[in-house]
Amino acid sequence: MGLLGSLAMLLTFLWILWSPGLRAQLSGASSDRARSLDALLQDYAYKAFVRPRTGIPYEGRPPSNLTGITITVMRLRSGSLRKRGVANYKEFVIPTGVVVRPYVERLALVYQNMGNWSTVYYPLPGYNYLAPVVGLLGYNASNLSATNLPDLDVRASEQPISIRFSEVKLVGGSSTARCVTFDLQGMTKFSNVSSGNVCSTVEQGHFAIVIESPAPSPAPVLPPTPTAPSKKGGKNEKKVLIIAGSVIGGLVVLILLALLILWIRRFKHRKKMRRMERAAEVGESLQLASVGNIRAPVAMGTRTQPMLETEYVP
């Protein structure tokens, strides 16, 4: 019964682990929509580099199903960015002293304006947006045809980066407007708005100006799945999922098979022991004799008495 109980517990654990609700929760945590959109917009922004020149912004064209989002890309030298900064790059004013890690000789700064998609990809319950979400992300620009690039760590080491919002809604009420920052780790940070609708940051990410809403804001509509420029990444993800599922399924089958073999061996052993016990119970009982302080079974006397050779007379 102990072995059967362990087997039942194992099956219950596996069922809970792979239940639909938990799978959906894990999938939502590992594949964030906003980060997937960043990778997609980087791919489309790099398509604007036809004959790129350093320090010149180029307007990109996002997918047709994401109309309302604007993207711009500009290639810079890391050393020039640190020494000179960028005076005006859309809403961003980048001062001197900006450090890029890991170090690359050339980087591309991808600007995003989420427009009417701000509440979809960056929902903020309890707040209303006074300005659309804008983003600034740095990528390696050594290969302008690369896709799915990891973002660099662009950080101000001397003065903060300023974001001057020009499109800010005017609302009445006693609530105070605040800056909100969405960093690349999924954390949300609030800070005060400076004069002239200016927010500050020391790292890259996404930024906006918000105000507390008097009533709960409606739930955002789920966005359509972005169409990637190529299906290579999706195929690779499917292959990884298939391989991972096969490995996990194989391990589960091996565990169950090992437990089944162990249970069969124990069952045969117990059956053999019971058969030997029954045979011992119906067999002939032996007489006991005292040998010193110990009583031991002895065989009964033989029917034919032994005869010495000297007693034999022909």
Residue from 142, 139, 225 nearest 184 by CA: 139
Average pLDDT of span 1-28: 44
pLDDT digits (tens, 9 = 90+) for 107-136: 999 999 999 999 999 999 999 999 999 999
**75 occurs within a structural domain:** yes
**314 occurs within a structural domain:** no
**230 occurs within a structural domain:** no
**89 occurs within a structural domain:** yes
**68 occurs within a structural domain:** yes
**288 occurs within a structural domain:** no
Could you tell me the residue range of the domain that residue 159 belongs to? Answer: 33-221
The total number of structural domains that make up the chain: 1
**127 occurs within a structural domain:** yes
Instruction: Calculate the average pLDDT of the chain.
Output: 81
Whole-model pTM: value is 0.60
pLDDT digits (tens, 9 = 90+) for 273-303: 888 777 766 655 556 666 666 666 666 555 5
Structure confidence at residue 186 (pLDDT): 87
